[in-house]
Homo-oligomer: A and B are copies of this chain.
Amino acid sequence: MSDVKIAEKLQKLIDELGIGLVSTDINNFVDGGVCASKGWKANGVHCGLAHKALTDTEEKSQAANNALPTNKKNDLAMIMSDKRAAAAAVYTTNKVKGAPLTVTKENLTDGYAQGVIVNSVNANTCNADGIEKAKKMGELAAKAMGISPSDMVIASTGVIGQVLPIEPIEKGIPGLYAGLSYTGNDEAVKAIMTTDTKPKEIAVEFEIGGKTCHIGGMLKGSGMIHPNMATTLTFITSDVAITPEMVKKALCENVQITLNCVSVDGDMSTNDMCVVMANGMAENAEITEENDDYGIFCEALWTVMVNLARMMARDGEGATKLIECNVKGAESFETAKIAAKSVIMSSLFKAAMFGEDANCGRIMCALGYANADYDVNKIDIDIASTGGYLNVCKQGSLLDFDEALAKKILVETDITIIIDLNQGDNGAMAWGCDLTYDYVKINGDYRS
A17 to chain B, nearest CB (A): 24
Residue pair B355, A398 in contact (C-beta under 8 Å) = no
Given contacts A369-B94, A396-B126, contact A161 B361 (CB under 8 A): yes
CB contact list, A179-228 vs B, under 8 A: 223-224, 226, 228
Given A266-B347, A267-B346; A160-B440 close (CB under 8 Å): no
Number of copies: 2
Q: Which of A26-34, A166-174, A254-262, A431-439 contacts B (4 or more CB under 8 A)?
A: A431-439
**Closest CB of chain B to A5's CB: distance in Å?**
29
What residues of chain B lie closer than 8 Å to A393, measured between beta carbons? 126, 161
A448 touches B269 (CB 8 A): no
The reply to whether B446 and A441 contact each other, CB–CB distance below 8 Å, is: no
Smallest CB–CB gap between A443 and chain B, Å?
3
**Partner pick for A161 among B265, B364, B367, CB 8 A cutoff:** B364
User: Which of B224, B365, B443 is the one whose CB lies under 8 Å from A94?
Assistant: B365
A270 lies within 8 A of B352 (CB): no
Complex contacts, A362 vs chain B, CB 8 Å: 160, 267
Known contacts A347-B265, A439-B440: does B95 contact A376 (CB below 8 Å)? yes
Cα distance, A266 to B347, chains bound together (Å) = 7
Give the residue name and chain of the B residue nearest to A123 (CB): B361
* Range, interface on chain A: 35 or more
**Quick one: which of A224, A226, A348, A437 has the most chain B CB within 10 A?**
A348
Q: Is the CB of B267 within 8 A of A96?
A: no
| From B128, B348, B367, B440, contact of A397 by CB (8 A) | B128
A357 and B447 within 8 A (CB): yes
A69 to B265, alpha carbons, bound, how many Å? 41
Complex formed: what's the CA distance from A366 to B95 in Å? Answer: 9
Contacts of A102 in B (CB 8 A): none
In the complex, what residue of chain B is closest to A436 when comparing beta carbons? Answer: B440
- B-contact 0/1 string along A51-65, CB 8 Å cutoff: 010000000000000
- Interface: A284 (CB within 8 A): no
Q: Give, as a whole number of angstroms, the nearest-CB distance from A117 to chain B.
A: 22
Residue picked from A163, A442, A445, most chain B C-beta under 10 Å: A445
Partner of A368, one of B270, B444, B448: B270
Give the distance in Å from the alpha carbon of A268 to the alpha carbon of B364 in the complex.
11
Within the complex, which residue of B95, B396, B441, B448 is in contact with A369, where a contact is CB–CB below 8 Å?
B95
Residues of B within 8 A of A389 (CB): none
Chain B residues with CB under 8 A of A128: 397
Q: Is the Cβ of B352 less than 8 Å from the Cβ of A443? A: yes
Q: What's the Cα separation between A367 and B97 when bound, in Å?
A: 11
Asked whether, in the complex, the Cβ of B445 is within 8 Å of the Cβ of A440, the reply is no
Tell me, rounded to whole Å, the shortest Cβ–Cβ distance linking A447 to chain B: 5
Partner pick for A351 among B364, B374, B444, CB 8 A cutoff: B444
A7 within 8 A of B: no
A6 within 8 A of partner (CB): no
Q: How far is the CA of A5 from the CA of B368 in the complex (A)?
A: 34
Q: Does A386 contact B (CB under 8 A)?
A: no
Taking the closest CB of chain B, its distance from the CB of A401, in whole angstroms, is: 10
Q: Which of A128, A223, A352, A365 has the most CB of B within 10 A?
A: A365
A93 touches B369 (CB 8 A): yes
Between-chain CB contacts (< 8 Å), 25 pairs: A94-B365, A94-B369, A95-B367, A95-B370, A95-B376, A96-B364, A125-B364, A159-B359, A161-B398, A266-B346, A267-B362, A270-B364, A347-B347, A347-B439, A348-B446, A351-B440, A351-B442, A351-B443, A352-B444, A355-B443, A355-B445, A357-B444, A435-B443, A437-B440, A437-B441
5 A-B pairs with least C-beta separation: A160-B361, A355-B444, A161-B398, A96-B368, A351-B443
Known: A95-B367, A95-B376, A224-B348. 16 other contacts (CB 8 A): A94-B368, A126-B361, A126-B364, A126-B393, A128-B397, A161-B398, A226-B369, A266-B346, A268-B368, A351-B439, A351-B443, A352-B444, A352-B445, A357-B447, A437-B437, A437-B441
